[in-house]
Amino acid sequence: MSFELSFENVKKELNFNPKDYEKRVKEINALLESERENPKNFVGWLHYASHINQNLVDSIKKQAKYFRENYDTLVVCGIGGSYLGTRAVIEAVNGLFPKDPFKILYFGQTLDPNYTSQILDYLQDRNFCVVCISKSGTTTETSVAFRLLRNILESKLGKREAAKAIACVTSIGKGALYKMATQEGYNTFELPDNIGGRYSVITPVGLLPIACAGIDIDRFIAGFVRAEEKFNSPELSQNYAYQYACEQNFLYGKGYDIELLITYEPRLQALAEWYKQLFDESNGKDQKGLLVMSSTFTTDLHSLGQYIQDGKKVIFETVLLFNKPKVDVKIPWNEEDLDELNYIADKELSYVNRKACEGTINAHANDGNVPNIVIELDTLDEYKFGEFLYFSMRACAMAGYLEGVNPFNQPGVEIYKKNMFKLLGKKGY
Ligand code: PA5
């Protein structure tokens, strides 16, 4: 099974009819593809992977090799779309406690002084390098963090050596980061103008840090390329990404205002953060939009589970499952059986986790009347993950247009920034 999508309790109870969507899906698909003709539209990600320049991939690999060979820690400095996809891939593929001596830290995504001072303290004893990622080049959280990191590097190594420990990903030709990188001689990679942050994980935004984490970016790109072919079809019956977008739209129309992305693995929590950003920043606007949230089971079955089962019927779930775990753990037999677990002794944890999942879907979908969409993939590796990320992006774009909003802008995000700048006394605000 390489990519399966099923709709538990969606069709049978609520009369979902794909025919109601087929024509609009075709029109929106044509619109998306035609938007590629104008570089001012933000659909550069649609076929980025299949057109990626090999020289760019090689230069990313070269930079990653240099960093891995000369430093022991990488600080990924960015916020929102400039770091969430990266973190999602690295944590999903390498796990939360990787044995790799080359460490990856995330910074530039908060203004919290406690987090900041702890990370700076930690870095004092590390031989670290930095990838600073910002499309605009002016995001406050990222700029502040980058200034602090440069200060440490420059006082430790001097300006020339510090410059070797820094690479940037930004828009070419504009913004403070590009200007600084050019002036200071930092290696710089392009984030194309026609790709927004939350759709940018397939560009150097994701590829550079992911390669630094020792992950095979050729396979990651190949997963995206495969997904481009798979989720390109205007025929709803042949396109899982569009089917998913239609189901979301349908359920939202039936009063299910909240979607929970459910995973059964803590290493997918960063993916959930990316996913929430993708859908909510894209489609929550004009006083409407499905609110996409997430939950990690079985952990949250002991907290949120109560509400999902018995609370207000505004939630539906999308359960993301990877069928083959990378490693498994057997529950040992114990002679005394004081904990009464011998009935599952010698069983793999993946088996128990799966039974928990089956039991939960049944409880929520059948007893709790919570519609469940299930997405099943066979393995969680860089290839499959690339495929899933592209699937999500394509579904998100379709869902936005079905809802009647532009999924590629984020006007609401600017308002807090303006207020903050005004309060901080920034010139011009
Ligand atoms: O998806 C988006 O567009 C945003 O989340 C941005 O990525 C985020 O605000 C960071 O912006 P920038 O890359 O300009 O620093």
* Pocket-testing residue among 83, 109, 133, 135, ligand 1, by greatest number of atoms within 8 A of Cβ: 135
Decide whether any atom of ligand 1 lies within 6 Å of the 410 Cβ.
yes
Structural domain for 151, as ranges: 49-215
Mean pLDDT of 13-38: 91
Residue 151: C-alpha distances to residues 81, 120, 145 (Å): 25, 11, 10
User: How many domains does one find in the chain?
Assistant: 2
* Same domain (yes/no): 153, 242: no
Mean pLDDT of 33-59: 94
Within a domain: residue 391? yes
**Tens-place pLDDT, residues 360-385:** 999 999 999 999 999 999 889 999 99
* Same domain (yes/no): 248, 370: yes
**Tens-place pLDDT, residues 94-151:** 999 999 999 999 999 999 999 999 999 999 999 999 999 999 999 999 999 999 999 9
* Same domain (yes/no): 251, 136: no
Number of neighbours of residue 295 by Cβ within 10 angstroms? 20
CA distance 212 to 376: 29
Q: Are 399 and 245 in contact (CB under 8 A)?
A: yes
First-residue to last-residue Cα distance in the chain:
55
Decide whether any atom of ligand 1 lies within 6 Å of the 198 Cβ.
yes
* Same domain (yes/no): 152, 269: no
CA distance 217 to 223: 10
Domain at 331, CATH number:
3.40.50.10490
Domain stop point among 177, 199, 215:
215
Q: Which structure tokens are listed for 180?
A: 């600084």
Within a domain: residue 427? no
* Same domain (yes/no): 294, 155: no
Within a domain: residue 42? no
Q: Which structure tokens are listed for 55?
A: 């020289």
